[in-house]
Structure 1
Amino acid sequence: MKTIMRGLMLAAFSMVCGAAFFAVSASAAMYYMDSQGGSDNNAGTSQNAAWKTLNKVNATTFQPGDSIVFKRGGSWTGKLWPKGSGTAQAPIVVDAYGAGNPPLLNGNGEEAAVYLYNQQYWEIKNLEITNDNGASSRRMGIYVVNEGAGLLNHIYVIGNNVHDVYGNNVKDGNGSGGIKIRTKTGSVKSNYNDVRIDGNTVGPRVDRTGIDVNSDYWCRTDSGCTGTNNWYPSTNVVIENNYVTDVGGDGIVPMATQGAVLQYNTVNGFNMRSGTANAGIWAWNADDTVIQYNEAFNGNTTQDGQGFDIDYGQSRTIVQYNYSHDNDGGFMLICQPGGAKNDGGIVRYNISQNDYARTFHLAGPTTNTLVYNNTIYLPTGSTTSPIVAGSWDGYTKSVSFYNNIWHLDGGGIWDGLSNIASFTFKYNTIYGVHTVGEPADANKSTANPLLAAPGTGVNRSTVDGYKLLQGSPALGSGMAVSSNGGKDYWGNAVSQTGAPNRGAYNGPGIQGTPASIVKNGGFEAGVLSPWTNWNTAGVVSGNARSGSYALRLNGGPGSAEQIITLQPSTTYTLKGYAKTDNSSQPVRIGVKNYGGTEQYAVITSTSYSLGTVTFTTGSANTVATIYIYKPSGTGYAYGDDVTVE
């Protein structure tokens, strides 16, 4: 009898528990917000009975599976801080509904426009967020805080537009930011797991950091901290598909993370206001970070100022498949102070175009860094140093450069490399200008690597100009690197054992014509640059042999000249077309300052005629001056389609 009764009681208990679980799941509700037609006296659970103010939301503790949806076209002022937490099966979602512009939340000088404190399983989506009352102070757009709550899970920030967060530019973990996920010291050691920041636009006019994840649990010897070890990193952090622009300091920075992934992000314009050391995309005090498929440009500083950075407190950071361009501080910083750690970083299959100051900046006693299969382009007139090795409590201890291509139409010195304790430089290509400090390399190539169209990249998806043409000496001439990631910038396979290409491209040579050594040789830029004028030269519309523009010399003497980058002891052919209005006033196409006697072709024709000059550079000559010159007379002369092969 007791056994029967126990069975009946257990069955009844199971039914009650099941009903309770069903009731919790079924209780999930959608709450509507309407800043114009809503009322806080409404139930909030339908569009026709929406709530109105943030106060109503902030006074409510939401249940797992609930949604809070804001009407598009509406606007709210103050801090949004809904209470409660979701579950793994039923997160709480903040989102938009209806048609029109995203719902606008203006913090108006609050600490944050959207705030969560010791909460988990939340998703914040599709909002427009500002936080500006005209006065600068510490403030955020979206601010998620863990203070002594232990492990908090599943914080997703997706598809929001955060701009005009007028904060201070103090650089610390508690500083201003567009989107900030922060762990503060509390009674319980705490961190986050499963953080996803995806598809947001941050900026313009956001201070100080665009996107960051940071923690007060950061102390360990790797970061130079001599106190009690309390490094407690957040895990499963993914920051992807975001566009960050016009930020006061850093672009995107995860700190105190393990295995964070930063991918498919764009940072356009960083350190616009802070005036301190910043970089575009980087991590700090974080192990096993992967930074890939990103673009960083328009960095506005030489205090750091690189598009990308492997900073200190890190082991095994990988920076791959990224595009850096037009950054004041350069492409890549690899650094640490004495007493900290930066070990095992890898920089591979990246492209740098028109970066300034230095393409690679090595600072401090970093160890075991590998830099291979990157492609670097510097334009004519650039003074950027290909590598700078400086001291930060000591110099780099060990770094290796393999299979990289530097296409240097211009460039500064290679600075400080003799200070590196263990510097390995093998199978690299250095083409163009050769300056002081260039490292020795028994397998170095100085031949034109035949990049398809260097200098023509616009964004991360338009860099096919850095593929190799058929016949390139960089094809299959590199050295094998183990554990090399298995693919290049474009996704072509890279063998673990066979000789790869040099540079970021490992596919077969593509068809095409090598880029002309002469820049603006057809004058189709509509301006003279990079040619220089002496007396009478200018560019005109019309009278062109091809295209829409031509060079015109308004009488003589006068000329247009261009300094081009060449290889020593190499034979070249200069070709160009010219004509003169008066056959008794000839025009010359020529070359000088190449290590031999000045040579030129004389053209007296009143219609375009080809002039050809063949010359061989001297053994130590890496530049030449080409020109179109009219010695005398008052008539016009024209030039077009100048090439050097």
Structure 2
Amino acid sequence: MRPADIGPPADEAPVKRPWLTTRTVRTGLASVLAALLVGSLAPAAHAAAGPKGPAAPAASAAAKSWPGNKHNATGGKDYYIDATHGHDTAAGTSPKNAWASLAKANATTFLPGDRILLKAGEQWQNEQLWPKGSGSAGKPITISAYGDKRAGRPYIATNGQVPSPFNADGTKNPQTVGLTGAIVLRNQQYWDIDNVELSNDDDFATDITKGTYVRDGIMVSINADLFPDGADTVMDHFRISDIYVHNLDGPSSWQKIHYGAVDFQVFGSKSYKAYPAGGYHFSDVRIENNTFENVELHAVQFAFNWFAADSADSGQYDEAGKWHEGWEQLWVRTRDLYSRDVYIGHNYAKSIGQGAFQLADSQRMTVEYNEVNGFLERYNAVSCGLYLWAGADSTMQYNEVYGGPDNEYDGTPWDLEYTNFNVTYQYNYSHDNAAGWMAYMGNSSNSVARYNLSVNDNGVLVKNMLSTNYAPTYFTNNTFVYDGADLNTVHDETFLSRVYFLNNIFYNTSETTPTPWYRRTGALRQAVFSHNDYYEASGTHSAQEPADPDGLRADPKFTGDPAHYVTGAGVDKIRKAAAPFALRKDSPLIDAGRYNAHMGTEDFLGTHLYYGDAPDIGIAESKRGRKVAHPVDANPIEEEADNRVNLALGKSVTASSTHPGANGSLGAEKLTDGNLSTRWAAADDASYPITLDVDFGADTTFDQVYLDEYTDSGTNPRVQSFELQRWDAATGGWVTFATRDAGVGHDLTVTGFGSVTSSKLRVALTGQIATEQYTPSLTEISVYRAGA
């Protein structure tokens, strides 16, 4: 939910939030002194103090009292800072003897249990807070507020007065990287920060379009180059809550570093291979009950690792011989560099320049009850609303994202990103995002999206898929409501590995245009659709609609009207938004689904799964029928397969050319392994014809040959012409029985040549598509006798 007292009333559409407090800009000696103390950090073009931002939302703590007014329960010492009445020559240990500037705190090394208390209602213009020291278990160091409970949060307006994190040549500067926040912590741990207001821009009304400016609200970093030998490189325990961050500006073009309202990052100037494994990460972090508005790039950016991973040798092969570019960050997993045990919840983000919640390189992360009201608003590159990159064993749930832009690449509220292992999106609500619903990249394992509600995400529902996966992906029990006349496609590229769509509702409100399912031939070749409902308001179904023998084409009979979906209730009432999409008692979708363990244990509304003879289709389970306490999947969809016998499966294959790269994983044996996720490739200098010979070991009769080319985001089909040949033992030569000059592409089954009996099959690739530069790559050769 939003922090108390700052959101629109329930049941109303999102509106401009009322600011409940105002401040008077204070000037005078304190401000002048502050500017002098930090002026050396300011870029020359931005040295002047910027305007005050919008008045801050009232803090939920203010109704009771500021935390600094209460006794310090840790036994540490309290230090007070009062910009108006304080003096840096004072002891700082009582409100009457407070310090004046943040520079005094920056020069102090604090001890476990100490508190740095800023006076409510005060401002520190052109200053940055970087106190030194670390807390300990049970005794964190705290930054918080004290004073009049009716006053607003203490306000640090850094106005861009931070050093550049870059050297003159554009590389990261190990000395200044990570020092770009209004509040900074570097290689420090056990810190609590709450009840402060922060901004860090000189003039947000003037958008920065170029330069090397990086400005954060709170920047917490690990700098691997600055640890002494033998130091603890795992930074534990951070609590950031009840803060308000606004007006952070930065360039609108990518400069290979992240920044945002709350920013956790790991830096190292050398290759990740130069540092020991098992460290250099954050642990035990909670970021909750915060408000972010008008910030770049992100509201929260967590744990991205910035070791040198752009060179030619920065990638690696996995245990299966699959190559990962360095930027995919598989090395975070193999070297155990994950940050872990992270909670990000109950935050409100409005008008975010790029992706609102960009999370990375984390394990055991829970991200819930966050609301994003507008993202990618000022940035000319791609991102998504809320997502995890290169993560593991993590869950995104009960989040609401809306107001995303129309964007060809990404731009969706959610993203099943590269190198995710066991990452689940469930019980999320997205609406009115013009780019679509879910980006989907690949190189992941056991990605699951279940019981999510999407309304008017009229772009691409499942966008991209640029690499194969380690294990299948599951889209189960989601409800999609969209306008087919406005929807681009359900999928825009080609599923490269197995994807299951189970028990979903595809509800097209258009009365003129059926659902456009794909734009590329063979796009759904690896997708299995089972027990979904396909509703077309027009009554006309698309010829592209996937085969689903147990699916329905029925009106779901929702309890509410999809045209009047709920907005403005806030994420604390997210189930109120989902409830109208439950099923009426007379819905044909009740008990019409199929059980699969990837459905989880409860629906969007918290109802046990499942009741009756089978699960319901869609996001809500009705309590009709007997409760099935411990469901068992007695008919696994994963075990269903083509009933035809693949006569080539496991047979020996010989290729006239094989690519030597990819750690030897591109051999011809991949063509008969029955796995479309593996592939053979010809060498770069191969000349046509390129031959692929399947040895059956004995005379075999067949009447169908299946061929499939490999493609990804940078690899198109390459074969223009080919011949199918049989081995003639009597003459000791090859005999052509079928030819084709219209290419191979995906899922090509060649028939019409009658029955052929031979001990060997040759696929002779005789010509390349004229516009293609590189040699071909195929995933599979299958052989069938359908007429038997």
**Common fold: TM-score over 0.5:** yes
* 1:428 aligns to 2:476 (yes or no): no
Q: For residues 256-306 of structure 1, give each alpha carbon's deviation from its aligned partner in whole angstroms, at most 9, with x where no partner exists.
A: 111221111111111001121111011111122211110111112312111
Number of the residue aligned with 2:661 = none
Residue 34 of structure 1 is aligned with which of 71, 82, 94? 82
Aligned position for 1:112: 181
The one of 561, 566, 582 equivalent to 1:457 is 566
Q: 1:495: how far off?
A: 3.2
Task: For CA contacts below 8 A with separation 6 or more, give which structure has more relative contact order.
Answer: 2
Alpha-carbon distance in structure 2 between the residues aligned to 1:171 and 1:438: 39
Q: Deviations over 1:368-392 (max 9, x none)?
A: 110000111124x74214511415x
- Post-superposition shift, 1:402? 0.4
Determine if the alignment matches structure 1 residue 129 to structure 2 residue 198. Answer: yes
Question: Per-residue displacement from partner, 1:107-158 (whole Å, max 9, x unpaired)?
Answer: 1112211100110000111111100113742111110011124111012211
Alignment of 1:151 onto 2:258 = no
1:60 aligns with 2:112: no
Q: 2:578·2:604 contact (CA, 8 Å) conserved in 1?
A: no
Deviates more, 1:222-231 or 1:409-418: 222-231
- 2:330·2:390 contact (CA, 8 Å) conserved in 1? no
The equivalent residue for 2:617 is 502
Q: What is the match of residue 441 of structure 1?
A: 548
Alignment partner of 1:199 is 2:289: yes
Does the residue aligned with 2:545 lie in a helix, a strand or coil?
A: coil
Aligned residues of 1:353 and 1:457 also touching (Cα < 8 A): no
Asked whether the 8 Å contact 2:216–2:259 carries over to 1, the reply is yes
**Corresponding position of 1:185:** 268
More strand per residue: 1 or 2?
1
What is the alpha-carbon distance in structure 1 between the residues aligned to residue 396 and residue 552 of structure 2?
A: 29
C-alpha deviation, 1:316, in angstroms: 1.4
Query: Which structure would you say has the larger Rg?
Result: 1
Distance 1:369 1:397 in 2: 8
**Cα distance, 1:175 vs. partner?**
2.6
Partner amino acid for 1:208? Answer: L
**Contact preservation (8 Å) 2:244, 2:291:** yes
Q: Which residue number corresponds to residue 69 of structure 1?
A: 117
* Contact 2:182–2:216 (Cα < 8 Å) also in 1: yes
Tell me if structure 2 keeps the 8 A contact 1:130–1:141. Answer: yes
Residue 135 of structure 2 is matched in structure 1 by: 86
**Equivalent residue, structure 2, for 1:547:** none
State the partner residue of 1:304. Answer: 410
1:279 is aligned with what amino acid? C
Aligned: 1:236 with 2:341: yes
State percent identity of aligned pairs: 30
Q: Does 1:328 align with 2:379?
A: no
- 1:324 is matched by which residue type in structure 2? S
Structure 1 26/333 Cα, relative in aligned 2: closer, same or farther at 3 Å?
Answer: closer
**Does structure 2 conserve the Cα–Cα contact (< 8 Å) formed by 1:66 and 1:91?**
yes
Secondary structure of the 1:501 match is: coil
Q: CA deviation at 1:420?
A: 3.9
How far apart are 1:417 and its partner, in Å?
7.0
Counterpart in 2 of 1:354?
456
Q: Spell out structure 1 runs of 4+ moving beyond 6 A.
A: 24-27
Deviation at 1:440, TM superposition (A): 1.6
User: Secondary structure of the equivalent of 2:192?
Assistant: strand
Task: Give structure 2 stretches of 5+ with no counterpart.
Answer: 1-71, 163-179, 228-232, 270-274, 310-314, 625-788
Alignment CA distance shift 1:49-1:382 (3 Å) = farther
How many pairs were matched up?
478
Shift of 1:220: 5.6
User: Separation in 2 of the partners of 1:119 and 1:104?
Assistant: 23
Partner residue in 1 for 2:377: 272
In the alignment, the residues of structure 2 paired with residue 179 and residue 452 of structure 1 have an alpha-carbon distance, to the nearest angstrom, of 40
Instruction: Give CA deviations for 1:152-197 in whole Å, capped at 9, x if unaligned.
Output: 1012211111110012244466232111001111666511111211
CA distance in 1, matches of 2:338, 2:155: 33
2:587 to 468, 472, 475: 472
- List alignment gaps of at least 5 residues for structure 1: 1-23, 510-645
**Counterpart position of 1:292:** 397
Structure 2 CA distance for partners of 1:358 and 1:483, relative to 1, 3 Å: closer
Alpha-carbon distance between aligned partners in 2 of 1:128 and 1:224, rounded to the nearest angstrom: 41
TM-score by length of 1: 0.70
Give deviations 1:311-342, integer Å, cap 9, x for gaps.
Answer: 11112110000001101111111113xxxx12
Distance 1:48 1:84 in 2: 25
Change (3 A) 1:221 1:269: farther
What is the distance in 2 between the residues matched to 1:44 and 1:261? 39
Task: Name the CA distance, whole Å, in 2 between partners of 1:25 and 1:431.
Answer: 60
| d(CA) in 1 for partners of 2:485, 2:395 | 31
CA distance in 1, matches of 2:598, 2:505: 20
The verdict on how the C-alpha distance between 1:158 and 1:478 changes in structure 2, with shifts beyond 3 A counting, is same
Match of 1:7 in 2: none
* Alpha-carbon distance in structure 2 between the residues aligned to 1:173 and 1:88: 34
Distance 2:74 2:429 in 1: 48
Pick aligned residue for 2:477 from 362, 367, 373 = 373
Going from structure 1 to structure 2, the CA distance change for 1:130 and 1:471 (only over 3 Å counts) comes to same
Kept in 2, the 8 Å contact 1:72–1:96? The answer is yes
**Take 1:115 and 1:470, find their aligned partners in 2: how far apart are those partners?**
56
What pairs with 1:486-497 in structure 2 (closer than 5 Å)? 486-495=601-610
Deviations 1:217-261 (A, max 9, x none): 576657933599742111112111111111111110111111221
C-alpha distance in 2 between matches for 1:191 and 1:209:
20
| Pair 194,170 (structure 1): closer, same or farther in 2 beyond 3 Å | farther
How much does 1:94 deviate?
0.5
In structure 1, how many angstroms separate the alpha carbons of the residues matched to 2:324 and 2:331? 13
| 2:137 maps to 1:101 | no
CA deviation profile, 1:352-371 (whole Å, cap 9, x unmatched): 01112122224223431100
Residue identity in the other structure for 1:117: R
Q: Of 285, 295, 314, which aligns to 2:420?
A: 314
Among candidates 405, 409, 412, match of residue 509 of structure 2: 409
Secondary structure class of the residue paired with 1:462 = helix
1:390 aligned counterpart, secondary structure: coil
Give the 3 Å change call, closer, same or farther, for CA 496–450 of structure 1 in structure 2. Answer: closer
Contact 2:611 2:622 survives alignment (8 Å): no
Whether the aligned pair in 2 keeps the contact of 1:169 and 1:176 (CA below 8 Å) is no
CA contact (8 A) 1:480 1:497 kept: no
Conserved? CA contact 2:239–2:286, under 8 Å:
yes
Aligned AA (1:406)? F
Instruction: Report the AA paired with residue 191 of structure 1.
Output: H
**Equivalent residue of 1:239, what SS?**
strand
